Amino acid sequence: MKHIKTLNTQTLNNTLKKGGCGECQTSCQSACKTSCTVGNQTCENKK
Amino acid sequence: MIHQYQNNGYNIILDVNSGAVHVVDQPAYDVIQCLTEINPRHTVDSLKEKQTQELLIERMGETYDPQDLKEILEDVICLTENGKLYTEDVFEAYVGDVKKRKTVVKALCLHIAHDCNLACKYCFAEEGEYHGRRALMSYEVGKKALDFLIANSGSRRNLEVDFFGGEPLMNWQVVKDLVAYGREQEKLHDKHFRFTLTTNGVLLNDEIQEFVNREMDNVVLSLDGRKDVHDNMRPFRNGKGSYDLIVPKFQKLAESRHQEKYYIRGTFTRNNLDFSEDILHFADLGFEQMSMEPVVGPETDSYAIREEDLPKIFSEYDKLARTMIEREREGKGFTFFHFMIDLEGGPCVYKRLSGCGSGTEYLAVTPWGDLYPCHQFVGEEGFLMGNVDDGIVKPEIADEFRSCSVYTKEKCKNCFAKFYCSGGCMANSFKFHGTIHDTYEVGCEMQRKRVECAIMMKAALAE
């Protein structure tokens, strides 16, 4: 596309298929403790 | 739902419900804005209607070449067909299932010491005492906490335990003994403990450093930035600043961890709204992993962030983002926790709908073994959920936390950042509104700005 460049291939919808294992880090255990930083976390399900 | 914005010369379109991020030129930016207005249904069919194209050319034909407009419209239709633009929210249908799922406990914040050797002015723990008495957690209580975690963690293998305070190094022997106990137990139960430590560094020494490097997955080191900023807010009880004592220790620790698996974590207040200077000061000190949280407190506190401070804070985030891009390109990049965003491998939708897990997956344990939904609720007696002897005795508190999501909070429904903060911090909501079912607006404004900056940086660094 000449006018639009998409940065990512993954979509949230795709994560419905494999998600929900819960092995990822709890957001407040990382480096916040006074806000909510779910989006900063990384998925640990590499399957 | 889309969110479009311009930052640092980039035109960005975030498709909220798919998470797709598009960097577009000015004609496409204007066309998408126009289409959002003239075609409120945003379906593929409605975009393909002849009338849509005619209206677009009627509105924008004088500014842009009609051929370009047609091309952009075709691109928009293609992206919409592929679920990357104007994507509908299909997740609300899942939220019921997510919330009904039987949750397990996977993380504990152990308040190993309700005591502190500093007297930080903004401390929500009130110099470690949490509206209560000074106390140290005993080994026995800590053991029961770890047993409780193992027993309530179901099939979850990775279990997280943060040694928190007050100042956890004031009860160091118990920390060491609990790590040893955890390592013993994890073998018996096929679990893996990820221990972390949050410290002010005052008591840090070589022996502690060696142990921390061997056993702790992450360490959070509290430092607010420039010496005058730090010493103003984080003095000893006698009023003397703590910067000179702790900075060399933190530098040594960070180096000994190969600049990984730690965060220098600061708090900025109204007294240092130029906080980007403090983050750059961290970088100048040689640190590579940093976090800087806005202080949270009522406006009656002189240092609290006020709504009127937001423009200055936004410009600081912009400045920081631009500087980080420059430094990255020079090979001198560093990580800022609040700009971390993984567009390809970030958390799944279930996690984003579940939120931070406070009150369900994540609990705080007081020195005497009481359980609270998170460290920020400790001392709020209405949120006392149980204790390490009897377990959860008030499951209704867990149910209330479990019921919270971006779909139950009116203010989240139309917010583009809802899948990044998951509805925000419930403790902050409680502090400002007396209920966990609301949001802390000033915090939301800052969160939105950080998401915008983080995405812009991805666009810049993808070039």
pLDDT tens over chain B, length 463 residues = 999 999 999 999 999 999 999 999 999 999 999 999 998 888 999 999 999 999 999 999 999 999 999 999 999 999 999 999 999 998 988 888 777 778 899 999 999 999 999 999 998 777 777 777 889 999 999 999 999 999 999 999 999 999 999 999 999 999 999 999 999 999 999 999 999 999 999 999 999 999 999 999 999 999 999 999 999 999 999 999 999 999 999 999 999 999 999 999 999 999 999 999 999 999 999 999 999 999 998 889 999 999 999 999 999 999 999 999 999 999 999 999 999 999 988 899 888 988 899 999 999 999 999 999 999 999 999 999 999 999 999 999 999 999 998 999 999 999 999 999 999 999 999 999 999 999 999 999 999 999 999 999 999 999 8
Q: Any idea what the Cα angle at residue A28 is, between residues A23 and A32, rounded to 5°?
A: 135
Averaged pLDDT of chain A:
84
Spell out which residues of chain B touch residue A26, defining contact as CB-CB under 8 Å.
106-107, 160, 356-357, 361-362
Chain B nearest CA to A13, separation (Å): 6
Start-to-end CA span in chain A (Å): 31
Between chains, do A35 and B19 touch, taking CB under 8 Å as contact? no
Question: Which residues of A make CB contacts under 8 Å with B?
Answer: 1-13, 15-16, 18-20, 22-45
Among the partner-chain residues A32, A38, A41, the one whose CB lies closest to the CB of B293 is A32
Among the partner-chain residues A7, A12, A38, the one whose CB lies closest to the CB of B462 is A7
Give the long-range contacts of residues B125-133, CB within 8 A, separation 24 or more.
B125/B165, B125/B166, B125/B375, B125/B378, B127/B166, B127/B237, B128/B165, B128/B166, B128/B167, B129/B166, B130/B366, B130/B378, B130/B379, B131/B379, B131/B380, B132/B366, B132/B379
Question: What is the C-alpha separation between B127 and B263, in angstroms, rounded?
Answer: 22
Interface size, chain A vs chain B, as Cβ–Cβ contacts under 8 Å = 205
Among the partner-chain residues B294, B340, B426, the one whose CB lies closest to the CB of A40 is B340
Helix (H, G, I), strand (E, B) or coil at B360: coil
Nearest residue of B to residue A26 by CA position?
A: B356
What pLDDT, on the 0 to 100 scale, is given for residue B129? 73
Question: What is the C-alpha separation between B165 and B142, in angstroms, rounded?
Answer: 13
Between chains, do B291 and A32 touch, taking CB under 8 Å as contact? yes
Question: What is the C-alpha separation between B315 and B104, in angstroms, rounded?
Answer: 41
Between chains, do A41 and B351 touch, taking CB under 8 Å as contact? yes
- Give the residue from B68, B351, B405, B421 with the most A CB atoms within 10 Å of its CB, the best one to mutate: B351
In the predicted model, what is the mean pLDDT of residues A2-21? 88
What pLDDT, on the 0 to 100 scale, is given for residue B350? 87
pLDDT band at A47 (very low <50, low <70, confident <90, very high): low
Chain A nearest CA to B265, separation (Å): 7
Between chains, do B18 and A44 touch, taking CB under 8 Å as contact? no
Between chains, do A7 and B343 touch, taking CB under 8 Å as contact? yes
Between chains, do B344 and A38 touch, taking CB under 8 Å as contact? no
What pLDDT, on the 0 to 100 scale, is given for residue B130? 74
What pLDDT, on the 0 to 100 scale, is given for residue B97? 78
Residues 6+ apart with CB under 8 A from B188: none
Phi, psi dihedrals of residue B455, rounded to the nearest 5°: -70, -40
Between chains, do B362 and A26 touch, taking CB under 8 Å as contact? yes
Chain B nearest CA to A24, separation (Å): 8
Question: What is the C-alpha separation between B163 and B365, in angstroms, rounded?
Answer: 10
- Give the residue from B110, B350, B458 with the most A CB atoms within 10 Å of its CB, the best one to mutate: B350
What pLDDT, on the 0 to 100 scale, is given for residue B324? 98
Between chains, do A23 and B158 touch, taking CB under 8 Å as contact? yes
In the predicted model, what is the mean pLDDT of residues A3-14? 92
Spell out which residues of chain A touch residue B445, defining contact as CB-CB under 8 Å.
none
Spell out which residues of chain B touch residue A24, defining contact as CB-CB under 8 Å.
347, 351
ipTM of the predicted structure? 0.93
What pLDDT, on the 0 to 100 scale, is given for residue A14? 87
- Give the residue from A18, A26, A45 with the most B CB atoms within 10 Å of its CB, the best one to mutate: A26
Nearest residue of B to residue A12 by CA position?
A: B18
What pLDDT, on the 0 to 100 scale, is given for residue A27? 84
What pLDDT, on the 0 to 100 scale, is given for residue A46? 65
What pLDDT, on the 0 to 100 scale, is given for residue B102? 80
